[in-house]
Amino acid sequence: MSISHFIREIGRGKHGARDLSREQAADLMGQVLDGKVSDMQLGAFCIAMRVKGETADEMAGCLDATHQRLNTLSNHGGSPIVVLPSYNGSRRLPLLTPLLALLLNQQGLRVLVHGGNTEDTRVSTADVMQALGLPVLNTMRPLQAHETAYVPTEVLCPGLWQLLQVRRQIGLRNTGHSLVKLMNPIAGPSLLVASYTHPEYEASMLQTLQMTQAHAMLLRGTEGEPVADPRRMRKSVLLLGGDIHETHDPQDQTSAEHAAYPMGLDVLATAHYIRTLAQTPSAVPAPLQQQVSLLCKLATAIR
C-alpha cells in the first residue's frame, strides 16, 4: 500500500493543496499508524500537512483511524472519567495539569492523563506526576475512586507514539500532535479537556469535537496544556454530545493576576508547589477554581 496519491493532494502548497475527506484521512492515518509507509512518505506527509493545516473532516478521520487501534480503558459505571491530554509540558510557567487532576479528585472525579515527551527542553507531566507519587499505567486497568493515573501514549497506541517522535528528526510538529489533544481513550462515560495554543485552532478543534459528538471542554490552555491559565480568565466552551452546552467568555471580567506567581520551576519545585496548592484550596488561582467548577458541572450532565 502507498499514501503517495494522498500526498499529491495535500502537498501542493498552502494555496494549491486539496483537503481530504474524513474517509480518506482515516485511510491515510491508518496506514501511517500501522507502519505501512516509507520513511520518505512519512516525512512528506508530516511536512505537507504542516504547511496545509488540518481541516475538521481530516482530524475526525485521523481520530477514527486512531480509535480503531487504541488500547482503551473501560468505564462501565459511575461518574465520567475526565481525560487530560498532556503533551506540551512547560517552559516558563509551572506545569499545573497534575494540580487540575488532583483538584478534580477532591471533587470526587477520576482523572486519566495521557501524554509523552517529544522534546527534552520542557518540564513534563510524566516527571511531575512521578514526583507526586501518582500511578503510571503500563497496561490499561479500571481507575479506582478519586484516582488520577498517567498512561504513556506508547501504551495507548505504539504507532501514534512513533508518529509523534518524527518531530525529533524533522524539528516540526505534525498531525499527531494535534490529534492527541482530541484523543479520548475511555470506553464509557468520559469528559475530554481539549486545549489549543493559538486562536486560529479554536474553530477547527471545536468543529472536530462537534463532528465526533464529544463531551468536552475546549479552552486555550497554558503553554499548550489542558489547564486554565492561572494569571487570567480565558474563554472556554462546554460540549455535550457534540452540542455546545455553555460558553464562558470572560472578556469583561477583571484579570486574575497573581503577583507572587512562580516562574521557571523544575520538576521537584513544581511538585512541591502543587502539593501546597492542593492542600490549601483558597490559594488555588481563580481561573483553575473556575475550570474545576465548570468540569464538575458538565460531568453531572453526562449520562
Longest dimension (CA), the chain: 58
Rg for the chain, CA atoms, rounded:
19
Q: 57 with 83, same domain?
A: no
Residue pair 69/33 in contact (Cβ under 8 Å)? The answer is: yes
153 in any annotated domain? yes
Report the candidate in 77, 20, 23, 10 with the shortest Cα–Cα distance to residue 50: 10
73 in any annotated domain? no
What residues does 217 pair with on adjacent strands?
193, 238
Q: 100 with 8, same domain?
A: no
Q: Nine-digit cell at 278?
A: 492542593
- C-alpha distances (whole Å) from 225 to each of 8, 9, 22, 97 are 34, 32, 27, 7
CA dihedral (88, 15, 13, 62) positive or negative: positive
The mean predicted confidence, pLDDT, of the chain is: 91
- C-alpha distances (whole Å) from 259 to each of 30, 45, 256, 262, 274 are 48, 45, 10, 9, 17
List the end-to-end C-alpha distance of the chain, in Å, as a whole number. 41
pTM score > 0.85 for this model?
A: yes
Q: 8 with 126, same domain?
A: no
Nearest-angstrom CA–CA distance, 45 and 25: 11
What SS3 state is found at 86? strand
**Strands 236-240, 243-248: parallel, antiparallel or unpaired by DSSP?**
antiparallel
Q: 166 with 197, same domain?
A: yes
- Measured from the Cβ of residue 109, the count of other Cβ atoms closer than 10 Å reads 23
Q: 85 with 52, same domain?
A: no
Residue pair 153/160 in contact (Cβ under 8 Å)? The answer is: yes
**Strands 111-115, 81-86: parallel, antiparallel or unpaired by DSSP?**
parallel
**Backbone φ/ψ region at 224: left (φ over 0), alpha (ψ -120 to 50), beta:** left
Q: 44 with 106, same domain?
A: no
176 in any annotated domain? yes
Report the candidate in 108, 143, 142, 144 with the shortest Cα–Cα distance to residue 299: 108
CA dihedral (102, 103, 107, 112) positive or negative: negative
The pLDDT value recorded for residue 258 is 47
Q: 131 with 219, same domain?
A: yes
Q: 219 with 243, same domain?
A: yes
72 in any annotated domain? no
Provide the number of structural domains found in the chain.
Answer: 2
Domain coverage including residue 20: 4-63
Contacts of 158 by beta carbon, 8 Å cutoff, 6+ apart: none
The pLDDT profile of the chain, 303 residues, written as one tens digit per residue, is: 688 888 888 888 777 889 999 999 999 999 999 999 999 999 999 999 998 899 999 999 999 999 999 999 999 877 899 999 999 988 888 999 999 999 999 999 999 999 988 777 889 999 999 999 999 999 999 999 999 999 999 999 999 999 999 988 888 889 999 999 999 999 999 999 999 988 888 999 999 999 999 999 999 989 889 999 998 888 999 999 999 999 988 864 544 554 457 777 899 999 999 999 999 988 999 999 999 999 999 999 997
71 in any annotated domain? no
What residues does 268 pair with on adjacent strands?
none
Nearest-angstrom CA–CA distance, 26 and 57: 10
**pLDDT tens by residue, 259-290:** 457 777 899 999 999 999 999 988 999 999 99
Q: 212 with 258, same domain?
A: yes
Amino acid making up residue 252? D
- Measured from the Cβ of residue 247, the count of other Cβ atoms closer than 10 Å reads 11
DSSP annotation string for 123-181:
B-HHHHHHHTT--B-SS--PPPTT-EEEEEHHHH-HHHHHHHHHHHHHSS--HHHHHGG
70 in any annotated domain? no
256 in any annotated domain? yes
